[in-house]
Amino acid sequence: MLYNRTYTNYDQDQEINNIVGKPFSFFQSLKLRGIGSSRLIIESVSNNFTEIVNDVADINYCNIELRPNGIILNVTQQLNLFSWVIPYYKLVVFDSETLSIHAGGGYIKIVKNKNYSNNKNFLKKMYELKTKYSAENNLAV
């Protein structure tokens, strides 16, 4: 599910909350030691996401927000903010030459550089929340 979240839309926010859960509370985010990644550089995207990345030679950035039942991958394109909402049961992550996030037939590949290294603890936390969600809902990891 891809949303244009440049402007606040109450109905859209409710739909996102239904898919991946409401945002963690302030105390929960402190307990988790943060629920958002720092900036990550996008290397490539699948064909269904080409409209959300800059066509020119600009660097495309994204960040990941954790939610109780999934993640939100935010991509900025000039002044627009696009959010790819992924529930944990659809989330597949491949960690090879690039960090590749897949769901529902689409993917975004993230460059492994200094920004990636700074986010290793965050990614570990994301994997742990996905495993916890899978165990609670009797899903295969």
Predicted confidence at residue 64, as pLDDT, reads: 95
Task: List pLDDT tens digits, range 6-41.
Answer: 998 999 999 999 999 999 999 999 998 899 999 999
**Whether the predicted pLDDT of 118 surpasses 70:** yes
Residue ranges of domains in the chain, CATH in brackets: 2-136 (2.30.29.30)
Inter-CA distances, 121 with 3, 13, 58, 115, Å: 27, 28, 28, 12
| Neighbour-count burial of 72, counting CB atoms closer than 10 A to its CB (0-12 exposed, 13-18 middle, 19+ buried) | buried
